[in-house]
Structure 1
Amino acid sequence: MRSWLIGIVVFVAAAAVLVLEIVAGRILAPYVGVSLQTFTGIIGTVLAAIALGAWGGGRLADKHDPRSLLGPVLVGGGLLAVASPALVTMIGPSVPGEDPGTIVVLAFIGFFAPAAVLSMVTPIAGKLMIDSLDTAGSVVGNLSAIGTAGALFGTFVTGFILIASVPSKPITWIVGLVLIVLGIVAVSDKSRQIVVPAILAAMGVFGASAVMAAPCDYETPYSCARVATDPNRASGRVLVLDTFVNSYVDMEDPTYLSSRYALVTDAAIQTLAPEGPLDLAFIGGGGYTLPRMYQATRGGTSTVLELDPALEQISIDDLGLIEGPWLTTTIGDARLTIRHLPDDGFDVVIGDAFSGRSVPWHLTTVEFLTDVRDKLTDRGIYVMNTIDHPPTRFARAEMATIAEVFPYFAVVAPQAYLDREHGGNFVLVGSMVPIDTSAIEALVPEGEIAFSGEAAAGWFAGVAPLRDDFAPVDQMISRP
């Protein structure tokens, strides 16, 4: 086999492994969510596969003619790549959960085998190209460089282009087809008999993958999105992102709020914000539940900072959002886009951005909240939705962070949450004016308690504020 063809094979195989590693995050998301733990589990699983594959490929190359191995290995890796989404879709619903063990198991089921098989390519190629110990170092170095270049290519193309423009299943089809075709080209005379079975196997695997129902209504660049009808309320719609209910919208009554945290958020705003029309900024749009509620009840303007460009269109198409001069949506990371908002321009800023159950860490820090405070009027308030469970390390750290930035602060949650007996949504408030907790408690659902001042400080006592150089949000959040 010509050396240039061997170089292409090594480049493509390495690129394919990284494409699969990146797309694995999106394929696993409907079952285990998206978090630092998710990507840690995927990266660790693929690295283990690379190590095993490199070891196994070297052993095979020493025991068998490497010319007879390269084609079958590429074909096998391609078939496994195509099968990976179907395997995850079949097994995923039976292993729900977000714990590290579940993440690793599902990553192993879907992606260990193709990554391991494709990682056999480089040592087999090395055995093919080394014909003298005098040049062994150069051959190994060249193949390592080519493989690394392929991995970089796969990383950049997938992360910057494919994920944003192509659903995950077709990405695996493209990878699989390229590998199978390249494998057939690389088949030696000794293994020519695999060509017809490989074509038949490819047809079967592609067909099975195509008919497997996708878990998403929409596969956005950032999540698997589904819209469901509330069986108990004909006009109710639920927006689910990955494993997490993101928004509830009543298509006929924009003032209807179904979730506890939304009712508590509204109670804080009713108590602290000025009467009449409001200028609001939202960090995270989701289903646009609160923006349309305030447009219906108070008027004014809503500026939504949303990372996922697909959510606005989903809200229009499936959740009844009617745009108008009152609504501005800015697509991009809120840490950056908030800097373009006018200083002293908003009565209320609402923090409701999530990646799974976690608030993105860079939207939790003193530095970010300082930017938020600068956008508020001299009577403005910041209301933030968080989710945590005992021992509530993150919720208390975020309250400490808000207290570092705002002169007045409060936390609103059921007593059992504040006592660290149970967990769920905590609504945290930072204000430029004093907070009347009794007025908030009069408006919130029964059982909600509002702590401010010394009482709130006692709740987060001993917990340091989050800062850009140390904000381990994913590790601090406890899950049920």
Structure 2
Amino acid sequence: MDSSPPEVVDADTRPEQPEPEPERRALPPGLAATLVFLASGAVLVLETASLRLVGPYVGVTLQVTSSVIGVALAAIAYGAWIGGWLADRRDPRALLAPALVLAGITTALTLPIVRYAGEVLRGGAAVGILLLTALAIFLPAALLSSITPMVVKLQLADLRRTGQVVGRLSSIGTLGAITATLGTGFVLVAALPSSAIIISLAVLLGLTGLGLGVWLHRRAGSNLPRPSRATAALAVLGLAGASFSAVAPTPCDVETAYHCASVEADPVNSTGRLLVLNSAWHSYVDLNDPAHLEFAYTQWLGAVADVVAPAGRAVDAVHLGGGGFTMPRYLTATRPGTRNEVYEIDGELVELGRRELDVRLGPELRARVGDARMLIGERPRGSADLVIGDAFGHLVVPWHLATREMAAEVRRIVRPGGIYAQNVIDHPPLRFIRAEVATVAAEFPHVALIAPPAAIAGEQGANFVIVASDRTLPLEVLRQQLATSADEPVTLLSGAALDEFVDDAMVLTDEYAPVDQLLATA
């Protein structure tokens, strides 16, 4: 048995034990909460604004909205993952400020990137939609999403409070996202153009990052490297990004709450004006001749109006969608005393029409700003001779205006013998127009379809006009009117031929109306 005395170890020679991370490494709770709130909210501001940025090039469809949300969620996931990985390998205090400044720079660069790339990727192809939304969102959103795990790492000084710290910061981040979503949707988009929102966000992030870097360096002293050269270089890049944003081409004359709108002069007709919404031709008006109908589908609608009432006889007309107010101006010019009521969701579009398209509101033309589905419910039963459906979100009829329930509302307000004429755009394989004809026919016993022959044959995309009534349609009279008023050959489909065209297409309802999927070409 070893009875030797225990070895005495001098205190100065004992192996050095790891010390717990000092409390000073943590950020003040208020600052930590502010950074998480700002970073999470900025992602949602960017997401909402980006939907408006890409809209003029790829439309505002369900696929575009899904792509924006999906890319933003992917950026959040990868940003949080990478931010946590870096926080375990580097002092997060040295990473926070550069991440914010870089997020500001990439946010500023979103404008020129989207506007230059959008011209190349213009259209509704799935690959182009995903690529453009990724260019708009992914990098700045990923950088912003890396902030939260870095802040969490700094605040975990006491493992006994891990759940409390993580839960609190997660809650604050969620509140930031909610605040940004509501604030952007209800306030910012209505008050500022998308470019102003993006630039303001970029400046806010950049200044926050610079201020945080200076504060952290002063607080940590020599524990953190001086940020002056790096931040100066980043600031120069940020200014360059902002300058590119200023000179980047923009497709908008006016950015409304719903559209990127512009009015273009017709190079052939000095008084002709073309209304362009999200880079799509929407309406054509002649300032000196309101009876002029340029687009083929408006000529067809004019022929339908002639069937409802001969020229010179006033009618009561309801228009679902205003746009350039082509048809209300036409009816007022050809049928004095006509009472037009227009339901237009975009109030700024109404003002644009008054300023540049000679829209004159008064007893014969009343514009109500709001959703047509809501407003039509306020219209008395049997109060309209003619209802014209011409509401679009980009090139797509809003799904809730394409259902059987909506058709029932239209039938409710149409007088006996009145007509519902609905403009629809579709492309081969023509699944949506078939479904929409079936949907209208589920409520109206008499239905016909006007379209170019090649479109009926499924050879090209085109406008289609559905004509419906509760009484027998005067088809021969309508054919004669179409032959007289239409500049190009047109087919009027009815009876057995229309049934064969529709085949077994579904009836769209409020319960199930996959409009965007039916319009997909692949």
What is the TM-score with the length of structure 2 in the denominator? 0.89
Alpha-carbon distance, 1:442 to partner: 1.7
| Pair 1:389-2:427 in alignment | yes
Tell me which amino acid in the other structure corresponds to 1:266: G
3-state SS in 2 of match to 1:96: coil
Q: 1:199 to 1:417 in 2, by over 3 A?
A: closer
Give the structure 2 partner of residue 293 of structure 1. 330
| Pair 1:476-2:502 in alignment | no
Give the structure 2 partner of residue 255 of structure 1. 291
Asked if 1 retains the 8 angstrom alpha-carbon contact of 2:361 and 2:367, the reply is no
Give CA-to-partner distance per residue, 1:251-294, whole Å, 9 cap, x none.
Answer: 11111111111111111221244661111000000000110011
| Pair 1:208-2:264 in alignment | no
Q: Map 1:299-378 onto structure 2 (within 5 A).
A: 299=336, 300-378=338-416
CA distance, structure 2, for counterparts of residue 391 and residue 436 of structure 1: 29
CA distance, structure 1, for counterparts of residue 102 and residue 316 of structure 2: 58
Alpha-carbon distance, 1:430 to partner: 1.1
Deviates more, 1:256-265 or 1:436-445: 436-445
Give the structure 2 partner of residue 241 of structure 1. 277
Structure showing greater radius of gyration is 2
CA distance, structure 1, for counterparts of residue 123 and residue 460 of structure 2: 19
Asked if 2 retains the 8 angstrom alpha-carbon contact of 1:411 and 1:428, the reply is yes
3-state SS in 1 of match to 2:159: coil
CA distance, structure 2, for counterparts of residue 397 and residue 94 of structure 1: 33
CA distance, structure 2, for counterparts of residue 102 and residue 87 of structure 1: 14
3-state SS in 2 of match to 1:179: helix
Give the structure 2 partner of residue 192 of structure 1. 227
CA distance, structure 2, for counterparts of residue 55 and residue 455 of structure 1: 59
Tell me which amino acid in the other structure corresponds to 1:465: V
Give CA-to-partner distance per residue, 1:299-339, whole Å, 9 cap, x none.
Answer: 21100000111111111111122232211100001110111
| Pair 1:432-2:458 in alignment | no
CA distance, structure 2, for counterparts of residue 203 and residue 411 of structure 1: 56
Q: Map 1:166-181 onto structure 2 (within 5 A).
A: 166-181=192-207
**Of 85, 102, 106, the match for 1:76:** 102
Alpha-carbon distance, 1:37 to partner: 1.0
Deviates more, 1:410-419 or 1:57-66: 410-419
Tell me which amino acid in the other structure corresponds to 1:287: G
Asked if 2 retains the 8 angstrom alpha-carbon contact of 1:390 and 1:478, the reply is no
CA distance, structure 1, for counterparts of residue 452 and residue 244 of structure 2: 49
Alpha-carbon distance, 1:180 to partner: 1.7
3-state SS in 1 of match to 2:88: helix
Tell me which amino acid in the other structure corresponds to 2:295: S
CA distance, structure 2, for counterparts of residue 362 and residue 314 of structure 1: 26
CA distance, structure 2, for counterparts of residue 290 and residue 319 of structure 1: 13
**Of 440, 445, 452, the match for 1:407:** 445
CA distance, structure 2, for counterparts of residue 417 and residue 178 of structure 1: 51
Identity value in percent: 40
**Of 224, 234, 241, the match for 2:260:** 224
Which 4+ residue blocks in structure 1 deviate beyond 4 angstroms?
none
3-state SS in 2 of match to 1:316: helix
Tell me which amino acid in the other structure corresponds to 2:239: M
Q: Which runs of 5+ in 2 are unaligned?
A: 1-26, 218-223
Alpha-carbon distance, 1:85 to partner: 1.3
Alpha-carbon distance, 1:209 to partner: 2.0
Asked if 1 retains the 8 angstrom alpha-carbon contact of 2:429 and 2:521, the reply is no
Give the structure 2 partner of residue 36 of structure 1. 62
Alpha-carbon distance, 1:52 to partner: 1.1
Alpha-carbon distance, 1:102 to partner: 0.6
Asked if 2 retains the 8 angstrom alpha-carbon contact of 1:32 and 1:243, the reply is no
Q: 1:479 to 1:285 in 2, by over 3 A?
A: farther
**Corresponding pairs, count:** 480
Tell me which amino acid in the other structure corresponds to 2:80: A
CA distance, structure 1, for counterparts of residue 114 and residue 461 of structure 2: 30
| Pair 1:267-2:303 in alignment | yes
CA distance, structure 1, for counterparts of residue 175 and residue 240 of structure 2: 32
Asked if 1 retains the 8 angstrom alpha-carbon contact of 2:84 and 2:146, the reply is yes
Give the structure 2 partner of residue 63 of structure 1. 89
Alpha-carbon distance, 1:479 to partner: 5.1
Alpha-carbon distance, 1:405 to partner: 0.6
Asked if 1 retains the 8 angstrom alpha-carbon contact of 2:341 and 2:366, the reply is yes
Q: Which runs of 5+ in 1 are unaligned?
A: none
3-state SS in 2 of match to 1:468: coil
Alpha-carbon distance, 1:174 to partner: 1.9
Tell me which amino acid in the other structure corresponds to 1:456: L
Tell me which amino acid in the other structure corresponds to 2:300: V
Q: Map 1:122-161 onto structure 2 (within 5 A).
A: 122-161=148-187
Tell me which amino acid in the other structure corresponds to 2:330: M
Alpha-carbon distance, 1:198 to partner: 4.1
CA distance, structure 1, for counterparts of residue 245 and residue 491 of structure 2: 51
Alpha-carbon distance, 1:196 to partner: 3.4
Deviates more, 1:15-24 or 1:47-56: 47-56
Give the structure 1 partner of residue 499 of structure 2. 457
Alpha-carbon distance, 1:478 to partner: 4.0
Alpha-carbon distance, 1:432 to partner: 2.1
CA distance, structure 2, for counterparts of residue 397 and residue 274 of structure 1: 32
Asked if 2 retains the 8 angstrom alpha-carbon contact of 1:273 and 1:348, the reply is no
CA distance, structure 2, for counterparts of residue 271 and residue 308 of structure 1: 30
Give the structure 2 partner of residue 117 of structure 1. 143
CA distance, structure 2, for counterparts of residue 459 and residue 436 of structure 1: 20
3-state SS in 2 of match to 1:228: strand
Alpha-carbon distance, 1:369 to partner: 1.1
Give the structure 2 partner of residue 20 of structure 1. 46
3-state SS in 1 of match to 2:473: coil
Asked if 1 retains the 8 angstrom alpha-carbon contact of 2:251 and 2:279, the reply is no
Tell me which amino acid in the other structure corresponds to 1:257: L
